[in-house]
Structure 1
């Protein structure tokens, strides 16, 4: 266990679960990591630039810690609504947005929001964690709540090249499930495009970035010097968490040629 005076988050999902059992992204959050997106803060901000936030009615699916929500609020949307299934994570997002937005405790595939209520729907690192059926359900829900001409932006874990050997893809997914304790199912860029297009959306922009979640340079860029120091301190204090982090880092290095952060912006036709 981490020291009592560590800077790990409180109230996080899986906060009481042993380090060896917690999903990898929530373990990293407990250790102080705030940017948990495959392509880092840089790719998220590119995506937000492309999707258009200012003056728009925004719905964010599964905002988690609320880190992207703060960037969205800073860009001056007309409104912000977060949809978060996990009650603990919903409270974290509520704290992050304060009076500038609202958060509803609901599933991304069944938000309960009205038809055509959003100019922009945003979801990061949520589809990767789902089965194919749930991926389609979430994208269909995003398309339902978008107004005609509205935009849907996703930031997910991608695979490359486009013709990646199916056996390599299967091995990679098994490795991810074993190490990060989540049945992650990343896809190639053509597969992500097809997922959006099958829901009747038109992809207007695609961006990529290295999958460097646990590399020092990425952490300095995403978390800053103080944030990176906090993470390192907490990792050094927690032997079990350190063992998990090293396994994740080794996995990402093993598959560094195949893994990629990918973001897409699509629109609902008029």
Structure 2
């Protein structure tokens, strides 16, 4: 008889959501239990663009907000920044992130804290980024996280990057946006409030940032081609096999995919790079 607990995954490191059954588990935790490591709406391709455009290099002190399973952390560490700090609320994630080994002299640490109130010293980061986390916050919480990123950055020389879900196009009817949000919540079991590209830009501008670069991508998280591109062929096959062996998990995955496809014309991924807005003379 197939297990209804997807925790029997490919690794023994504790993952978020241990003890929850498949019917109630947040969607991103469910996918992580299946072995999916790239949980970003635009996939690893958009994440790489984000890191390239932010220009992370050996002199940078990087803070990642809601760092999760460490997929992006590994890409960042490969760039050899002077320091990398992961922030996450989940103790299992913090334990995993703190154990990451940098290929060079990068100082690596992980702190268990909230992205809106990290407890880190202000003005000590040159790059701050977060992925697939602002979308899950209501408007006031979104603003608190962006405000915290601004506080962490060093003067006007820092860069802030976000990689999130977005609604398309800019003029999308608000009633349609509410329908999409309701369907996402029903499928993901977590609130999701994506913004239009202009909405994301205005959010950053309201908290003292100027957007310098933007890219969008299809929301294809559960499509076979994206799954293989993000995870590799063999891991993708293993993920699919685990889902097929567990009816409860398979129902949830199919529900998520149906919602993503249903709203495919109006749901995408976006990455924005921003810098602190200089004070007016």
Which TM-score bucket, shorter chain as reference?
over 0.9
- Say yes or no: does 1:26 pair with 2:29: yes
Q: CA deviation at 1:127?
A: 0.2
- 1:226 corresponds to which residue? 234
Q: Which one scores higher on RCO, CA 8 angstroms, separation ≥ 6?
A: 1
- Say yes or no: does 1:46 pair with 2:49: yes
Structure 1 residues 13 and 6: alpha-carbon distance in aligned structure 2, compared to 1, 3 A threshold: closer
Contact 1:115/1:144, CA 8 A, preserved across alignment:
yes
Contact 1:67/1:96, CA 8 A, preserved across alignment:
no
- 2:274 corresponds to which residue? 266
Task: From 163, 167, 173, give the equivalent of 1:159.
Answer: 167
Q: Over the residues paired in the alignment, what is the CA RMSD in angstroms? A: 1.5
Deviations 1:42-75 (A, max 9, x none): 0000010000111210000010001100000001
Q: CA deviation at 1:238?
A: 1.3
Distance 2:233 2:212 in 1: 35
Contact 2:6/2:30, CA 8 A, preserved across alignment:
no
Contact 2:7/2:18, CA 8 A, preserved across alignment:
no
Structure 1 residues 4 and 259: alpha-carbon distance in aligned structure 2, compared to 1, 3 A threshold: closer
TM-score by length of 1: 0.96
TM-score by length of 2: 0.93
Structure 1 residues 73 and 248: alpha-carbon distance in aligned structure 2, compared to 1, 3 A threshold: same
| Alignment gaps of 5+ in structure 1 | none
| Alignment gaps of 5+ in structure 2 | none
- 1:103 corresponds to which residue? 110
- 2:122 corresponds to which residue? 115
Distance 2:191 2:83 in 1: 33
Distance 2:173 2:268 in 1: 16
Task: From 70, 73, 93, give the equivalent of 1:69.
Answer: 73
- 1:84 corresponds to which residue? 88
Structure 1 residues 4 and 190: alpha-carbon distance in aligned structure 2, compared to 1, 3 A threshold: closer
Structure 1 residues 9 and 115: alpha-carbon distance in aligned structure 2, compared to 1, 3 A threshold: same
Contact 2:6/2:249, CA 8 A, preserved across alignment:
no
- Say yes or no: does 1:132 pair with 2:135: no
Aligned length: 270
Task: Name the SS of the counterpart of 2:166 in structure 1.
Answer: strand
